[in-house]
Amino acid sequence: MEPRRAKIFYLKKRVLFPYCTLPVSLRPSDQSNAIHEGDSILAFSITSIFDIIFHQGKMATLAEVTEIERSDQKVTMKLRGLARAVVQKIVKFTNAEYLLFEAPRDDLHHTTIDELRKKCQEVIFLINVPESDKLIQLLNYIVDPDQMSDFIANYFVIDFKTRYRLYRETDPVRRSRMLINELSKMIQKMTANNKRA
């Protein structure tokens, strides 16, 4: 398979999961002015300069720029994640060659999917926000295990290190089990806080 090429966009200590959206702001520059609504770009999460130097084989997200607003002070974009990609080569820090990542097609056992969905619903009930019912309904519509684990990791895991670890886990089964563990910790913490309140 021949590598594809796209503009690269560096996300400093932020993660864009496939199937999810992320707003980003940056200062106007030649690079930001070259990005337009509808463009496909490669969103590459970095934690240090070493991620750029040793980029080959690292995970990135192919994304679409769905909205863009420009002012003299900043450029605001909304990115929509499309798929995981593997960085092959960064060209002059502005473009990258990549291959789309194909997740293993081992279907998750139904009990794992059900457990993940139930844990997430329990967290939603504990949070108890006006949108809780909508979130639960939305979860019931997601049937693809890969999409479900990315959606839950994106909207329910706040800690960057945990998000990054989940993002880099390419096996949907392992990612779902990691998520179940993280959600269990969240439930324990919130339950303890509610008892103290």
The residue segments making up the domain with residue 158 are 110-196
128/49 same-domain check: no
What are phi and psi for residue 43, nearest 5 degrees?
-85, 115
Highest mean pLDDT among 54-63, 154-163, 172-181: 54-63
Any domain includes 141: yes
109-138 pLDDT, tens digit per residue, is: 667 778 888 888 888 888 776 667 777 777
Residue 197 has a pLDDT of 62
- Evaluate whether residue 158 is within a structural domain: yes
Neighbour count for residue 172 (Cβ, 10 Å) = 23
How many residues appear in the chain?
A: 197
Distances 182 to 111, 149, 158, 163 between C-alpha atoms, Å? 17, 12, 11, 10
